[in-house]
Each structure stands twice: as structure tokens, then as C-alpha cells.
Structure 1
């Protein structure tokens, strides 16, 4: 099933003709120019007293309620409105619930059930090749895998240890053996070697899309011909500006990506009725946006995502470098992301730009606050994310109505946010 691909017209992100080596095809991913590098300052300094800043708050670890409090706070009745609920599980991990549609039955599977999608999960204490190596957690996981209310599909953005964790994969396979796994090119064989049935692994390239539904046996099945009356999902693999590798020898051997998930329904009795979108979610994976925070050359993929999908009800966008170089803040030093190359990890300000580019209505900032060296890193990320949102006219995620530029913010680990799909 996981054989080499071939293409007469090699995609620009392929490094060879067989689809077994990959690269970032944009100038925004190249090393800084000499002038840009010369413009960078010494990146280390002492941390100021960030915890006193009005936008700073400690990230708490809370027991997930899977959206109950968010629904109540916003006065949303998920039995009367079509909703999408996102829960941050720490780092880039997120669980998304597509609640049952009010007026449309499921095309395949049991009617009236939610669909649960899990993104980049990691529940281990360390993000590394063994249980004793790699960055360790600064914040505990808010729950166990067995606590999840469901898991119909798992989406992996790339194979770095903090996004594809062996112990987590094995545990999901044990608790949710019927889940379908979606991965970028080259990652299917690794998953199959963990014991996952190859029939439950969907390997995809950038801009590739699959239409289907989750059948009673849990397998994501493509729909025969045009969509019939009912509900179906469109799964799209989207570009990201990053890299891959689990050792020093396999860099770029597998693809990296983001994911766009759309739910459609056709409820009209007329055969000619067109599918109507009833919810769209975007997970950016791990990504950069420009060579340095001072560069004007940006990654064009996100504006293209915004054009192709015309916006998302809920997005998960990284706002920090994750656990990279966390030991520096552990020693009490501040590593300025404004003075190091940033092609692979977007800054909080860049995350706001991605929010705007992809036309997100509601964005949850992720990829921070978990595998870090000190709370200062969380404060740093939140302060800049809030300030950039304010400057862009983006209102707070919690406590504000959706403005013309959408909402954005951060949650506690285990916190949830609910949105009514398609509501401006």
C-alpha cells in the first residue's frame, strides 16, 4: 500500500521524482540573506518581569469537560445548533468534536453521533526517541487517552517526536482500534509497523483531498460517485513550511503538512441539490511563515489555503517554537525569536498573520506552554499573540462576539472552545 509515488510533472515540494524526499519550495523558507542576517541582534538576554503584564497569565492544567463550560458560557445549545468544539490537549495536540447535525442524517454509520478528530497527540512525559530522552513536560497532560470521549480519526502533521509519539500511537491503537489515521506522504509505513491496519491509514500529498464518511467499522470510506443525501467529510492535506526527520539521517524523507477538515450535507429531496458546508476546521501543524521576523518575504501557502477553503470556523495555529531550545529559558535566559532564523517556526505575530491569511473565524493558539523550560516562554508567547491580535483588530477568543477579523486566543491545557458553524 505504501509504495513509491511517481509523477511526470514533479510537484515543486518533491526533491526527487518518486516522492520519497521533500523540501519547502518557497523563498520564505530559505536561510536569511546576508543583509537579513546582519540585521539580527544578539539573541540572548535576561527575562523581564513578564508575569506582571496584563496579557500574561499562568497556563493551568484543567480536567477537560469537552466543551460543557464553553457552551454554557456562550448560551449555545448543541442540541439545537450545529457546532464544532475544540479542546487543547497540550503542545500541538487537539481534539475536535463535530456535533450531530440537527437536520441531516449520517450517510454512513449510526445517526445522531458526534465525530471526534484527534490532531498531533502526545501524552508522554518526554518528546524524544525513548522515555528518557528529549524535552520533558513543563505541564502535565490534562487527561489520559482512555478519557477521550471518542476518536474516529487521528491526523499527524509530521514525524518529529513531539508530533508523532510512539507510546501515544500504541495507546490510541489500544483504546481506539477503529480510528482512521491520516498522514502526509512517507509516514504510512512507520504507522503500519506499530500494528495499525494498513486499511486504516490514509497517506496524502499536499492539496490532495478525500471525500468520504466514517463507516460503522470505523474505516473512512470514499463515497461512490456524487454525494448522496446525508453527511460526508472532505479531508484535505495542506502545505506547511517546516521539515521532518527522526534522526540525523532522514531529514526530508517524509512530508509535513497541515489539515483542513470540512463537513458537508445534502438534505434536499432534489437530486440536483448541492452539498452545503456545515463546519470547517484547520490545523496548521508545525510551520514557519518567513525567514526572520523582520523579513517581508512570507510563505504564500496560507493565502492560497484561505482562497481555496474560504475560511474556517475553528483553527489551531502554532504561536511558539514548541519545546525547541527550552533549556535556555530553564537557565533563566530569554532567547529572542526576533533575532534567530524563524523559517520553520512562526512567531506569535506570524500566527496572527496566518489567522488572517486562512480566513479563520476562531483561532486557538497552540504549540506552546507544554514542553518548555519555564513559564516565561508561555508569557512571552501570549503577550505577543494578544498584542498582535489587538493591532489586527482581532477580538478575544473568550468573552467577545466574532468580529469582522475573527477571534483568537489561548486556552488552559484541557480547556475547550465551542463555536456555532457558519455563524458570523
Structure 2
């Protein structure tokens, strides 16, 4: 295959990882994932958020791809932290970044994976698309018994179908996703049991631990013609260890979603927030926060501690591999927030409350 063709395939895979779409996304008249009653965020075919920006169309995709002047990434960006070997159980709270937006959260004696991606590429293609530049911060074989898997949405950098299927066969965890994603997951293993919930709904995981689904300013797509046909969400975990608010992807919007969290649950003890995949801003702003936005979200939440993810593992957008961490420090300094209150995590890095 010629180099130009390879680049075209790689760019297409990158766009699909982010849920790339075009006008074809609006041609399907039936939702293949979810058939349910209309609501204030579901019109019978597609989901939408209260602040839903106008969908990018094919011309926007082409404009971005043709004008890309992004900073190149290194082939390898190893973490300074060794791969973690977590304990079997933790009663309090222990959080480890596996990479990109994948976490192991150990709390209340439960082991929870959020958006576990162990694949070499965050892509629908095995041979093209964003390639991992560092190994997972926990080797799959070193995972403790997994009790629950939480999926925020269906973009390929968050929903790694083969990994979730493997987890199902190995651990039989409770799998929780927003509406419609169960159909996608069962496409990888039709024996998989998946719990689905809508925004505002919850699931009791036992031991006093409850997971609540809340809105995010984002969207979904697995291909070119299923845009917003499965729901997306953020998660709030409540337990005796406190409130943990986790966002896979979101734009800041007017800040309403963050104010709502603080009003409903109180200021979180911990917020895990995305800080990467934000350039160019004209394209990414509605769906991805930059570090300055993430600091604004931290202040709206009143969270005691924040951890930053969604950077440094898969190159999805135009900023350099180290720019999110650098920009986060600058944004914290400008806002008068101590740097230790918001850490840009690297794979294998462990956080526990002091």
C-alpha cells in the first residue's frame, strides 16, 4: 500500500476512534442499539445533551485532516512509574491509571475497571489508527478479581470490545454502561450480561457502593452511520470512602453539569477528569476539555483532589504528547490552585488519599 494510502487509512481510523462522522450519519432511520421511549435527551432515534453543539459534518472532518499541523509524538513515551501490581482488595480507596482513560478503582472491597482498554490501538482497525505509546500501567495478568466494569461511552479509546469480552470470560463482572451500549458489547460475546442505565439512574454494587450515571457534554458513534444512537455518561461512585466523580470525555459547556454534581452529591472527595485531546479548539471544544477547562471544572465541583487522564497514551488530536501536563500546571498556577490538588497521572501511577 502506498504511503499516501496508509496515511489516509490512519487518519480515517483516528477520526473513527473519536466517533468520526459525516452526513451519512443522518441517513439511518432506525436505531440498531436502543428502542425506548422518548425523553428530554432521546428523540426516538438519537440521544442528545442539553447543550448539544451542532454535529460536525464531512466538510469539517476534511478541513481538520487537510489542515493538520499537529506536533509529532514519539514512538514511545514510557511512564516513569513501574507497572502496578495492585493488592487483591482495598477497603478504603486506591486509584491507578492503566493508561489514557482506563482506571482501576479499588474501594469498599470492590475492584472496578473504568473504560478498560488494553488493545495496542484505539481503533476499529488492527493495522491502523492511534497506537499505544506506553504499555498498560497494570498488566492484564496482574489484575485483581474484577467485580465491575464501567463503560462511559462507545468511542474506541473507551470501549475496547475484545478486552471487555475477555474480562467477562475471566471474571464474570457486573458490566454497566449507558443505554444502547449493551447491544455493542454483546457483539463481542453474546453471553455477556450488561446492565444499562439512563442519566439519573443508579446501580447498587454492594458493600455500600453505588454507581450513578450523570450527563456529559459529549456524544457517541462506533462507525459512520450510528452517531448518538447509544448514550454516553459520566459516573459518580458513592461509598463510605466519599464521592468519586469520573468523567471519560466531556466539554466544559457552561459548567452546568459540574455545578449539578456539587449540588446533588456535595463537593467530591475525588474527581477524575480528562485533560487531553483538545486541539484544534474549533473542532474539539464542544466535546473535549482542555486543561484550563478542567481546572474550571475542578473549581465548579469544589473537589478536594483531581486526577487528570485522557492524555499521553494514544495520539488522537494535534497537541504534543507532553503539552496537556504542561498546560495543566500553567492553568493551576493562573487559577491560584496548588499543583498537588490536580495531578496529570501517568500509567502505573497510584493515588490514595493522604
1:120 Cα deviation (Å)?
A: 0.6
1:260 Cα deviation (Å)?
A: 0.5
Q: Distance in 1 between matches of 2:78 and 2:129?
A: 24
Is the aligned partner of 1:163 residue 2:106?
Answer: no
Return the TM-score normalized by structure 2. Answer: 0.78
Structure 1 spans left out of the alignment, 5+ residues: 33-42, 49-56, 69-77, 100-113, 214-230, 264-276, 291-297, 323-335, 398-406
How many residue pairs match? The answer is 311
Match of 1:305 in 2: 261
Match of 2:104 in 1: 95
1:339 Cα deviation (Å)?
A: 5.1
Aligned partner of 1:126 among 109, 121, 129: 121
Q: How does 1:73-222 map to 2 (within 5 A)?
A: 83-99=92-108, 114-177=109-172, 179-195=173-189, 197=191, 200-213=193-206
Q: Distance in 1 between matches of 2:205 and 2:136?
A: 32
Match of 1:332 in 2: none
Structure 2 spans left out of the alignment, 5+ residues: 1-32, 57-66
Q: 1:108-129 CA deviation, whole Å, 9 max, x = no partner?
A: xxxxxx2111101100101111
Is the aligned partner of 1:6 residue 2:19?
Answer: no
Is the aligned partner of 1:63 residue 2:83?
Answer: yes
Change (3 A) 1:164 1:24: same
Q: Distance in 2 between matches of 1:188 and 1:374?
A: 28
Change (3 A) 1:62 1:304: same
Change (3 A) 1:14 1:375: closer
Residues 280 and 318 in structure 2, CA contact (< 8 A), matched pair in contact too: no
Residues 67 and 86 in structure 1, CA contact (< 8 A), matched pair in contact too: no
Match of 2:16 in 1: none
Q: Distance in 2 between matches of 1:208 and 1:412?
A: 31
1:396 Cα deviation (Å)?
A: 2.8
1:373 Cα deviation (Å)?
A: 7.7
Match of 1:404 in 2: none
2:208 partner SS: strand
Q: 1:248-277 CA deviation, whole Å, 9 max, x = no partner?
A: 0100100011100101xxxxxxxxxxxxx4
Determine which structure has the larger helix proportion and give its number. Answer: 2
Match of 1:356 in 2: 299
Return the TM-score normalized by structure 1. Answer: 0.66
Q: 1:211-241 CA deviation, whole Å, 9 max, x = no partner?
A: 351xxxxxxxxxxxxxxxxx42221001111
Residues 85 and 143 in structure 2, CA contact (< 8 A), matched pair in contact too: no
